[in-house]
Every structure is written in structure tokens, then in C-alpha cells.
């Protein structure tokens, strides 16, 4: 991107991003498409300017309203795990946040439907994604735990906050063969789980411990 704001300098430069990608490789991320998105999405524009120099550290950072931008490894891990098993047409994202996960995922699928309960965060995410030319995303201000029934079924659902138990509505909105990625459990005891809907059952696979903000109902 020719815009210096996007391409970055110093701690937001291409060299800094390359070091992040190398760390993610060392941590087991193998999808070249996902790594390419991590390298090319300017994470620093999704955080406050004061935190820009830390944008390519592999750590979560505050984005206001008690929310965080997930660490790059988690974004890469969840995106890679969602895509494993074949290409996706319609993906529901629960918890838009600042829009960084959306920006990484959107070019890798046909369409993203994303829900955020905190309206100022949603407005900010819309602005950033528009700036980046990401056009295949539909936005909704609402309670993500209820899913997006009018657009269901989805062949992929990614949840960026942790419920204590998986909302039944999300499982019901998965089509056969569809995959749901969701962190589940109380603080300090969360695990990332991949559910896959089959004809007569739902398979459950644990992908390891994680730490997310809780999934809250309602809107803010």
C-alpha cells in the first residue's frame, strides 16, 4: 500500500511485520494465505496511535470499552483452524471488535457477516475496513450470541469472545459440514474448541487453552 499510514515506518514497518510472521511460523502456523494476511494487514491502524509501536508484538492490546484486539497468534490460529477442511462461502463473525480479525479473514472467504454489541466499536471497524478496501463484509449491531438467523445457515462461524457454554443458536445456524470456532469457559479455564456439524451429530475438538474477554449478551 503506497499510503505511509498503512505501510508503516519504524516499529510498524514491513521488517517488523516479517519478524512477527516468523514468530507465528515458529509457533506452528503453516497456512501461507493466513501468514500473508498477517503480514499485509496494518494492525497498527486498528489500535490507538499511542499503542502503534506495539502493534506487531504478539500480544493483545486494549481498544476501549473493556475490549481487546486479539494477539496475532490467536487471530492466525483461529483463522487457520476455521479454514481447515475446505473453502468457506458464508462466515459469521461474533464480536467484530476493532475489525482486525475481520480484515484478516475476509479476503480468504466469499462473505463475512459480522456482529458487534458495542456500537462505537462497530462504527470504527466499518471505517477501517472501508479504508482498506475490504468490501465483502456485512455489519450488524446486535447480540452475537443469538447469531444472525436471517442469514443462516453458515458454513463457518468464528466467535471472538468466550461464553461459559456454547450458545445453542450458533450451533443451530451451522449448515451440515460447517465449522464453529469458539473459546469456551470461565476466565483462566478457557479452551479453543472447533465444532463441526455432521448429518446426525456435532463433533467437538479441543485446540488448546486460550484467554478471551467474556461473551456478553445484549447491546452497548
pLDDT tens, residue by residue, 93-126: 999 999 999 999 999 999 999 999 999 999 999 9
Structural domain contains residue 217: no
CATH number for the domain that contains residue 132: 3.40.50.150
Q: Is 206 part of the annotated catalytic residue set?
A: no
Cα 100–chain centre separation:
7
How much is the pTM?
0.93
Q: Which domain holds residue 71?
A: 4-209
Structural domain contains residue 219: no
Q: What is the pLDDT of residue 13?
A: 83
Structural domain contains residue 216: no
Which three-class secondary structure state does DSSP give residue 133? Answer: coil
Residue 37 Cα distances to 32, 100, 199, angstroms = 9, 11, 33
Taking residues 21-29, what's their average pLDDT? 97
Assess whether pLDDT exceeds 70 at residue 7: no
> Choosing from 13, 53, 70, 145, which is the catalytic residue?
70
Predicted confidence (pLDDT) per residue in 125-142, tens digit: 999 999 999 999 999 999
Predicted confidence (pLDDT) per residue in 35-94, tens digit: 999 999 999 999 998 998 999 999 999 999 989 999 999 999 999 999 998 899 999 999
Domain count, the chain: 1
Assess whether pLDDT exceeds 80 at residue 8: no
Grid cell for residue 6: 498503512
Structural domain contains residue 148: yes
Structural domain contains residue 218: no
Structural domain contains residue 214: no
Helical axes 32-40 vs 72-83, angle rounded to 10°: 140
| Cβ contact 145:158 at 8 Å | no
Structural domain contains residue 215: no
Predicted confidence (pLDDT) per residue in 136-163, tens digit: 999 999 999 999 999 999 999 999 999 9
Q: Is the dihedral of CA 214, 206, 96, 145 positive or negative?
A: negative
Structural domain contains residue 220: no
Strand order in the sheet with 202-209: 137-141, 111-116, 90-94, 154-159, 174-184, 191-197, 202-209
Q: What is the pLDDT of residue 218?
A: 82
Amino acid at each position: 500500500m503506497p499510503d505511509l499510514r498503512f505501510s508503516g515506518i519504524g516499529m510498524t514497518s514491513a521488517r517488523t511485520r516479517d519478524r512477527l510472521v516468523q514468530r507465528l511460523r515458529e509457533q506452528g502456523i503453516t497456512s501461507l494465505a493466513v501468514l500473508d494476511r498477517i503480514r499485509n494487514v496494518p494492525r497498527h491502524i486498528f489500535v490507538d496511535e499511542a499503542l502503534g509501536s506495539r502493534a506487531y508484538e504478539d500480544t493483545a492490546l486494549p481498544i476501549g470499552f473493556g475490549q481487546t484486539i486479539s494477539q496475532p497468534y490467536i487471530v492466525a490460529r483461529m483463522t487457520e483452524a476455521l479454514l481447515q477442511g475446505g473453502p468457506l462461502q458464508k462466515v459469521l463473525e461474533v464480536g467484530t471488535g476493532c475489525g482486525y480479525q475481520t480484515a484478516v479473514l475476509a479476503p480468504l472467504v466469499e462473505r463475512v457477516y459480522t456482529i458487534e454489541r458495542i456500537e462505537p466499536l462497530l462504527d470504527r471497524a466499518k471505517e477501517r475496513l472501508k479504508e482498506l478496501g475490504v468490501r465483502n463484509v456485512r455489519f450488524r449491531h446486535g447480540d452475537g450470541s443469538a447469531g444472525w438467523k436471517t442469514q443462516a445457515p453458515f458454513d463457518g462461524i468464528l466467535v471472538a469472545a468466550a461464553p461459559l457454554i456454547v450458545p445453542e443458536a450458533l450451533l443451530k445456524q451451522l449448515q451440515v459440514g460447517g465449522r464453529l470456532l469458539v473459546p469456551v469457559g470461565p476466565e483462566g479455564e478457557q479452551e479453543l474448541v472447533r465444532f463441526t456439524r455432521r448429518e446426525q451429530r456435532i463433533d467437538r475438538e479441543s485446540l488448546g487453552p486460550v484467554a478471551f474477554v467474556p461473551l456478553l449478551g445484549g447491546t452497548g
